[in-house]
Structure 1
């Protein structure tokens, strides 16, 4: 399985993804699900994937081929608007799902994939978009400024409680890591390392990018601090009525 989250705040974008893939119960591997395409000063795109690995690899290869081919009718670096990028990736996704499905038609494995696109083109606004297997897509909204794919339920509460468009990029990144950590703790199909990328609004490049594993000190500090503060918060919650009347508060 997979868990990826893209967050859009006024200051820019935060994107984070785990790296665990599973071909079977006992075949667990690490594979990057975050892919960066950038032309500094002109455009930057980060694509994260969940679903069939053969499909997502085919999509990424197709996108890179079009970038490298000057005669390609369209590519990421030829786009003028971010919605054009989302439409284009949707078409590439649908086409490659069909190709992979032909090869796997006698198997019961799903060939579908879902993508999160985050990025910005010079002259336009930054945005995060979720691209569905059918090729259609949705935007993150001011009311819900994040999008998730994969095993999303365990990491959702902190995003709902904390993230809004005024949240700083660094706080949004910390929330993304706690969201990933909560998912990793509750679901064995999601695991370290974590890929984290930050795009500051207007910079038109990936401002910070890091891979986080068990030995990453600041991530260990975040995990420990979050666990301690959650436990402390429980002990400060209001007492039940019977606790105060029986003197057991």
Structure 2
């Protein structure tokens, strides 16, 4: 399993992908977020699924780009179309052999960027069938892999108008919630941003030790907030102290 996340906010894009690979009892690390295209015309692709399908699809996509778009795709829709063609080609070649081995053709991808003809950054989710959806500003994120654990904090706190700095924090907390509850998701974690203001990609990889302060702060504060949550009658009636109060009232009568 994996966890890849793409956020679209007013200032641009925030991407995150964990780096843990599990195969049976073996655990290793590998990149799941990569950039493709010449400098100044790059898009980012994050994938979840069989590693062999990922590598072959991206190899076909890069080959198509070198042959047909040596200066990069002109728009995200053009890049998405090239990726989907590559995915269909791999599906045609490999689906039969995979099914004979009881494996599913299961490659999902998040594709993000802004190219020359695009008025603003864009974020897409591509399914194994090579159809796709674009992010909606009302729910400005897409995730693939082990998506259940990191979703609540994004649904509660993320908006299209969220500043990029806060979006980065939410992306990390979404990953940390997933990592904490899913053994198949873990460090290292790759994070990327694309700023609409200068159309530049920025990227950093973090390991477990790099984010100790953030992880400790969150654990301490979420525990403190739970303790400080207003109680009142709804919870007091379920505690032993409520029985003591009732007994006291009976005695007084």
Three-state SS of the structure 2 residue aligned to 1:4 is: strand
Q: 1:154 to 1:184 in 2, by over 3 A?
A: same
Compute the displacement of 1:101 (Å): 2.4
Three-state SS of the structure 2 residue aligned to 1:14 is: strand
With 12-21 and 91-100 compared, the bigger mean Cα shift is at 91-100
Match of residue 238, structure 1, among 226, 230, 234: 230
Is 2:20 the counterpart of 1:20?
yes
How many residues of Structure 1 are paired with residues of Structure 2 in the alignment?
Answer: 239
Is 2:174 the counterpart of 1:179?
yes
2:249 paired residue number: none
Residues 105 and 128, structure 2, Cα contact 8 Å, conserved in 1: no
Match of residue 53, structure 1, among 30, 51, 69: 51
Take 1:169 and 1:150, find their aligned partners in 2: how far apart are those partners? 23
Take 2:73 and 2:66, find their aligned partners in 1: how far apart are those partners? 14
Is 2:155 the counterpart of 1:163?
no
Take 1:184 and 1:214, find their aligned partners in 2: how far apart are those partners? 11
Match of residue 137, structure 2, among 132, 139, 142: 142
Compute the displacement of 1:91 (Å): 1.7
Compute the displacement of 1:202 (Å): 4.0
2:220 paired residue number: 228
2:86 paired residue number: 92
Compute the displacement of 1:80 (Å): 2.2
Three-state SS of the structure 2 residue aligned to 1:121 is: coil
Q: Which protein has the larger Cα radius of gyration, Structure 1 or Structure 2?
A: 2
Compute the displacement of 1:78 (Å): 4.1
**Is there any run of 5+ residues in structure 1 with no aligned partner, and where?**
none
With 192-201 and 31-40 compared, the bigger mean Cα shift is at 31-40
Compute the displacement of 1:123 (Å): 4.0
**Is there any run of 5+ residues in structure 2 with no aligned partner, and where?**
246-253
| Structure 1 residue ranges (4+ consecutive) displaced by more than 6 angstroms after TM superposition | none
Any residues of structure 2 matched to 1:95-134 within 5 Å, and which?
A: 95-124=89-118, 125-134=120-129
1:30 paired residue number: 29
Residues 39 and 205, structure 1, Cα contact 8 Å, conserved in 2: no
Residues 8 and 160, structure 2, Cα contact 8 Å, conserved in 1: yes
1:44 paired residue number: 42
Instruction: Provide TM-score, normalisation by structure 2.
Output: 0.88
Take 2:161 and 2:39, find their aligned partners in 1: how far apart are those partners? 26
